[in-house]
A and B are shown apart, each in its own frame.
Chain A
Amino acid sequence: MNSWREQGNLRLRLVLFIGLFLFPFLFIYYGCKGEEKGVTEITFWGMGAEGEKIQALLPEFYRRHPEIKVRVQMVPWTAAQEKLISAFVADNTPDLCQLGNTWVPQFVLLDALEPLEGYISKSAVVKQSNYFKGIWNTNEVGGKIYGIPWYIDTRLMYYRKDIFKKAGYELPPKTWDELLDLSRKIVKLQNDPNKYAIYLPTNEWAPFIIFGIQNGSDLLKNNWTYGNFSGDKFLEAFDFLMKFHKERLSPLGVSQVTNVYQAFEEGYFSIYISGPWNIPDMKKKMNDSTGEKWGTAPLPGKNGYPGASLAGGASLVMFKQSKKKEAAWKFIEFLSEKGTQLAFFGETNNLPAVVSAWDEPGFKKDPFIPAFYEQFQNVVATPKIPEWEQIVSAKLQQYAEYAARGKMTAKEAMQNLDREVNIILEKRRRLLGK
């Protein structure tokens, strides 16, 4: 009995001791994100493929700046906005990061970003005149510049040339009516209940907003303090898009398409409204990089061609909390050089923000790029408010799904949407009112 107790005693004492030793160790463990001497380590958050591909640019940067080390963290695009905000809330923002340029205003409002005029005025590389004006402006809030455009993008139409031809369209549609007519013809032609014409998933809000803008809707009214989605203009556009779901020209569920590129290749749909990041995967999956079977085209319009699309892209920003702003700025300058911009295009297919890069012959060679150039002639920004992401990615998508599945009429859906948007914007109204 006694010896048994001694044994147990010994074992447990051992465990306790290990516990006591581990406890201080844990403070050391989380405290020691050590750095090499003489080297400044900056943290950069890159979204999706950009986060991965930017690695290829680093050797050149290190060659020029051996005193700086860049720690790149990849953030999936789907969770990027969410993650950045939580990082801000948790006081855990990186030194610099790419920010969707429509997100800049909301981080400014949160007082999270460092104004950049001081850096720009001293810089030999970054100058306002190097950039598309509209894109530069997305980074300006209250007269101050908070971001440097990194790359630009916009959404246009990916389409199957072969199928369009069979349906009698030598050229892509230029108007809404043509788009609808063509879609009907494609579905008729395929004559397969498992094939559709266009992919308009309700969990991608951009097309809904684009068509609304094309129809002249202002989306939000009274200085962006009330929703205007049930207004005539947006409602008409929304109703138009719903036709594609009602007539089964577009697949309903999101779960059916697990791989867009494969679905596009199989002819599951022939039209997809999306951005330049798809080009490499499309080339691979279609086994066609010359534009035989598929192509890109500007969006059809309601009033004139090309129809408007969204001014997208990413800017480079520095966070206020960063203690290594000088080093971070050097990295921004490096990324803004024409050569780096072209190299980055080669890696990711992200379109350069620096205008002079667009004249490079190597850049123009790609058969899928000119359509983007054309589309850029007509791009518009979304409202610059922090609530925008919640409005579109939670609420608009939610009600689009209700309408697409026939649970609500387009009008009911948009009225409900406005009601919820007005609740979301309540705080904004109060803050502005003060």
Chain B
Amino acid sequence: MKKAAYLFLTPALTAIFVFFFIPVIAAFLISFTDFDIYAIGNYSRFQFTGLENYRKLFENDLFWKALVNTFYFVVASGPLSIAISLGAALLLNSKLVRFKGIFRLVYFMPVVTTLVAVSIVWRFIYHPEFGLLNYGLSFLGVEKIDWLGDPNWAMPSIILLSIWKNFGYNMIIFIAGLQNIPEELYEAAQIEGANAFQRFTKITLPMLAPTTIFITIITMIGYFQLFAEPYIMTQGGPLDSTLSIVLYMYQEGFRWWNMGYSSAIAFVLFIIILTGTLLQMWYQRRRTA
């Protein structure tokens, strides 16, 4: 019986071990070498350089820029998209609304689509001359904006796209969370004379807390890995204002083949995500304790 268990486990565990765990360890080691295009041509041309890659990384303005951009993206679009998801979930959970299924479907549609394809679509929507967005805004009296060409607007443009693309996902999770809140709680509150706002802050929000924390973690992890949108729409420009950590890692590693350096970037990303996750888990534990 035990033998059977191991047999069932072997394929998956071997695959995960060989093609995930070993590469993680290897990446860690490579990040302490100067492995690059010279070394690919001739394996004798690389050596251990200790913390050199990390030192270069922390001295590089571009890296800090990518870091700041990525945080900007996460901090701006994370809470915003979660708030919109929650709003949409509340509306769709309202007893007043019928045809919930259809609305839910519509709002959810962007989630399942291919990021590369929608990035291309939005690139044209953002076109300063012929784009739909500027045209729509012109009715509100807004002047033409060069969305992707202006360093101040490029990141907000990417944020808008990613909110549009992702809010449906969290909305679904919030709807599930809302449906788990017992109806009696609201009835009891109503009897005691609590108004809608009080019911929201005293019942809905606290009851949703675990859901919210879960959503925050997955959203954050996902957003830190920003890549395809800037790759397609701006290539990191203008003025590196949309260069994300993963895009920087990609460019260094797979465009210029500075693989040691690129691995160091990947590890910094890992540490950031790990720290964020641990912080949120610690916060959650403190709340429930």
Contacts and interface: CB of A to CB of B under 8 A. Distances in A.
Interface in B115-149: 128, 146, 148-149
A253 B256 contact: no
A255 B149 CA distance: 6
A271 to B, nearest CB: 22
Nearest to B147: A255
B254 to A, nearest CB: 7
B151 A405 contact: yes
A82 B238 CA distance: 21
Nearest to A402: B239
B237 to A, nearest CB: 7
A394 B150 CA distance: 19
A423 B34 contact: no
B256 A394 contact: yes
B56 interface: yes
Interface stretch (A11-19, A108-116, A358-366): A108-116
Given A255-B149, A256-B128, A431 B238 contact: no
Nearest to A252: B149
Given A112-B41, A255-B149, A256-B149, A398 B256 contact: no
B256 A405 contact: no
A109 B56 contact: no
A89 interface: yes
A407 interface: yes
B38 A89 contact: no
A386 interface: yes
Contact of B34 (A86, A88, A111, A427): A427
A407 B256 contact: no
A109 B239 contact: no
B12 to A, nearest CB: 15
B128 A407 contact: no
B255 A253 contact: no
Contacts, number: 57
Given A255-B128, A255-B148, A256-B149, A427 B38 contact: yes
A111 B256 contact: no
A111 B239 contact: no
B201 to A, nearest CB: 45
B109 interface: no
B256 A390 contact: yes
Contacts of B40: 88-89, 110
A205 to B, nearest CB: 14
A254 B154 CA distance: 13
Interface string A397-416: 01001100101000000001
A423 B56 contact: yes
Contacts of A416: 61
Nearest to A106: B37
A242 to B, nearest CB: 15
Interface string A252-294: 0111100000000000000000000000000000000000000
Interface string B231-250: 00000011110000000000
B240 A386 contact: no
A428 to B, nearest CB: 8
B45 A431 contact: yes
B37 A85 contact: yes
B128 A401 contact: no
B257 interface: yes
Given A254-B149, A255-B149, A111 B41 contact: yes
B42 interface: yes
A401 B237 contact: yes
28 contacts: A82-B255, A85-B37, A85-B257, A86-B254, A88-B40, A110-B37, A111-B41, A111-B42, A253-B146, A253-B149, A253-B150, A254-B237, A254-B238, A255-B146, A255-B148, A386-B37, A386-B38, A390-B256, A394-B256, A398-B62, A398-B240, A401-B237, A401-B238, A402-B239, A407-B239, A416-B61, A420-B60, A427-B38
Given A109-B38, A386-B38, 6 more contacts: A85-B257, A254-B237, A255-B148, A386-B37, A390-B256, A398-B240
Interface of B: 34, 36-38, 40-42, 45, 56, 60-62, 128, 146, 148-151, 237-240, 251, 254-257
The 8 A-B residue pairs whose C-beta atoms are closest, nearest first, are A255-B149, A110-B41, A253-B149, A390-B256, A111-B41, A89-B40, A82-B255, A401-B239
